[in-house]
Chains A and B, each alone.
Chain A
């Protein structure tokens, strides 16, 4: 089995330990530490919470409480592109449900998982995107798509696939 993934992971944990060193003697540190952790991992893995708890002598229950309280923290791996779909009333009336279904199908998500296996996309249903006039609405990263039909979804998503394909080649 290829070990390069392990290596990359190790480097992230080295960065975590290094970052924690700076916080050993400060107070009121949970939020900044979690922010830095998320910068390192792009999300907050369970393992990282255990390490933070042990290293900084803060109960893991307390860290977990903070990490789950604030919307800015993510405890699951997130994809490169974030797709937000409105499930609010206005969008619902205009066929938001069908839209959501179509995205799920296009991404091949099932059983409640929200991130694709290749880590390219994460789907996040949200309560309202504040653009009810354009219902139904979805956002991919910072781009907003309003009044779209379920049939348009595959084409829109494919644009982001290509973009990343190119980026990947360059990298």
Chain B
């Protein structure tokens, strides 16, 4: 590629032709502030905070949207530039609530950070708040339109990446707002509660719905036994939050930390993930051998399930009837586990710790009470659990390892894989292969379905039987696969979908995750953990064998159907 040479603040630098001034300046070592710009998105150029001076141009230029040209002389540090940026900040702040101390994004807000950097000590413009109502219509997401700076990052995410189109701009000029479809509440829109818009938002206008106070109340109730399940992707983000590399915190340290902050019993969602593989794997085998509906899609991601219910109501029989690991766990903890432990199910308060906002919604779906109680009483996101560690001053990295509680705490490498895109597929293949061929699998890794690629596929030749599988993450990719099914042209038997980029490791309940780079790192840590487990195939999980032996009696049997499988319903929304 040809190079372009420019002068930035007196420094000569060569960059590939077409590079933006923003990136050229970064390369030269100068930071330019941005708000509407996002590294994984299109250029929007609506906030103008990134303006710079270009010699020969009368007006200041938005550096994110202006490409360098040969010999360009750029200044990013002049008083004129700084004054313009500060004015933009003041204008934004004049319409932005000033309650930073109480904001969900206190300390991680891009606007707050810039206000600090640009030394905004007073505002020349009078404060005018819109006092718009907050949107609490979903159990997963809260929107505070008052804090919105109209950058459009959430809209692009929801529209191009997720193809849900729940959010759009409405009205004009001063009255412009980001609103769900026909200006109604989010729950009436096709929103699938994936929470990806939270990561996209630079300010506190969108966040997960917090239940920390409710948890503290439950934890101090002497009549409640708090039992928790923890999902595989949580550990990595907790480690990051305490300033360590993704893989540095051991699961066992986390167990100890959770006991310390009020959880009476700590179990693992991975156990239920192994169970899901048993049920889902055999469901697939049954569909293949009995001419059932194919391809079969995984059903562990509640955002994906809702997406199918809203956008593909005619194809719901393609979804596996298996509940997600969270809900399988929930149904068992108040039946099987309660029995084993001799604890009354009435007393059990089951809390799951998830990287996901959609799980909060899944837990309150009306069909999720097969144990005779609410299967999962509360879902806390990774972000909330980190908050609890901060409040209590417990640093999991400093603690000794502790053991999981018995009966539903053991898990295999396959269970761990559920945290990353491609993981459910890989785990299922390990089990299905052995059942189909009767032979033991030597090479456990299926590299075709690993990695951050949005669509992955593999054709496996198992003793002459060709098994074709596909994996999609982010919903625009899932749509491609679903459209093939709708057109009667899907070549696959088994398809895994996760709504979030990279899978659960990039979930909407994870701490602010700005880039795909960060997600790829967490993915590596998941594969590391799989490699380190002594047992790596779901069907070899000792506690799973006990569960079938003592309680469920057979895979896809009567009890399984009662507790572990579910039905889907068409959801009519304003799409």
Which A residues contact B (CB, under 8 angstroms)? 46, 49-50, 53-54, 59-62, 64-65, 68-70
A62 near B183 with CB under 8 A, answer: no
Q: With A54-B575, A69-B172 in contact, is A64–B165 under 8 Å at CB?
A: no
Identify B575's interface contact among A46, A59, A65, CB under 8 A: A59
How far apart are the CA atoms of A83 and B228 in the complex, in Å?
63
Contact A62 B165 (CB under 8 A): yes
List the 4 closest pairs (A to B, CB-CB), nearest first. A61-B168, A59-B165, A68-B170, A60-B181
A59–B168 CB distance below 8 A: yes
Q: Please, which residues of chain B bring their CB within 8 A of the CB of A53?
A: 574-575
- Min CB–CB distance A33 → chain B (angstroms): 15
Which parts of B165-183 form the interface with A (CB within 8 Å)? 165-172, 179-183
Complex CA–CA separation, A28 to B165 (angstroms): 18
Q: Is B172's CB under 8 angstroms from A60's CB?
A: no
The reply to whether A68 and B171 form a contact with Cβ atoms under 8 Å apart is yes
A53 vs B159: C-alpha distance in the bound complex, in angstroms? 15
Instruction: Contacts A53-B574, A61-B168 known; list 11 others, CB within 8 Å.
Output: A50-B574, A59-B181, A59-B575, A61-B159, A61-B166, A61-B179, A61-B189, A64-B182, A68-B172, A68-B183, A69-B169
Interface residues of B, Cβ cutoff 8 Å to A: 159, 165-172, 179-183, 189, 574-575
CB-contact partner of A64 in B159, B172, B181, B575, under 8 A: B181
Of B159, B169, B171, B182, the contact of A60 (CB 8 Å cutoff):
B182
* Distance in angstroms between the alpha carbons of A70 and B171 in the assembled complex: 8
Q: Are the C-beta atoms of A62 and B182 separated by less than 8 Å?
A: no
Check B165–A61 contact: CB distance below 8 A. Answer: yes
- With CB as the reference atom, state the residue of chain A lying closest to B183: A64
B159 A65 Cβ-Cβ under 8 A: no
Evaluate contact between B181 and A61: CB separation under 8 angstroms: yes
Quote the shortest CB–CB distance from B159 to chain A (angstroms): 7
Q: Is the interface of A mostly helix, strand, loop or mixed?
A: helix
Instruction: Report the minimum CB–CB distance from A125 to chain B (whole Å).
Output: 14
Interchain CA distance A69-B170 in the complex, whole Å: 6
* Min C-beta distance of A96 to chain B, whole Å: 20
Which residues of the other chain, B, contact A68 by a CB distance below 8 angstroms? 170-172, 183
Q: A40 to B168: give the CA distance in the assembly, Å.
A: 26
Are B182 and A46 in contact, CB atoms less than 8 angstroms apart? yes
Contact B182 A50 (CB under 8 A): yes
Interface centre among B170, B180, B182 (most CB of A within 10 A): B182
A74 to B170, CA, bound (A): 13
Q: Are B168 and A62 in contact (CB under 8 A)?
A: yes
Name A75's closest neighbour in chain B (CB-CB).
Answer: B183
Please tell me which one of the listed residues A46, A54, A59, A64 contacts residue B170 in the complex, with CB atoms under 8 A apart: A64
Contacting residues, chain A, for B182 (C-beta < 8 A): 46, 49-50, 60-61, 64
* C-alpha spacing A154/B92, complex, angstroms: 44
| B574 to A, closest residue via Cβ | A60
- Min CB gap A127→B, angstroms: 11
Q: How far is the CA of A62 from the CA of B574 in the complex (A)?
A: 12
Is A65 a contact of B574 with CB atoms below 8 Å? no
Can you name 18 A-B pairs with beta carbons within 8 Å?
A46-B182, A49-B574, A50-B574, A59-B159, A59-B165, A59-B181, A60-B182, A60-B574, A61-B165, A61-B167, A61-B179, A62-B168, A64-B179, A68-B171, A68-B172, A69-B170, A69-B171, A70-B172
Known: A50-B574, A54-B575. Is A61-B172 also a contact (CB below 8 A)? no
Task: Select from chain A the residue with minimum beta-carbon distance to B169.
Answer: A65
Nearest CB of B to A53, in Å: 6
A64 CA to B189 CA, complexed, in Å: 12
- Once the chains are docked, how many angstroms separate the CA of A54 from the CA of B172? 25
Residues of chain A lying within 8 A (CB to CB) of residue B171 = 68-69
**Given the complex of chains A and B, what is the CA–CA distance between A49 and B171 in angstroms?**
15
Residue among A46, A61, A68, A69 with most chain B CB within 10 A: A61
**Complex contacts, B169 vs chain A, CB 8 Å:** 65, 69
Q: Min CB distance, B105 to chain A, in Å?
A: 24
C-alpha gap A31/B546 in the complex (Å):
64
Q: How many angstroms between the C-alpha atoms of A61 and B167 in the bound complex?
A: 6
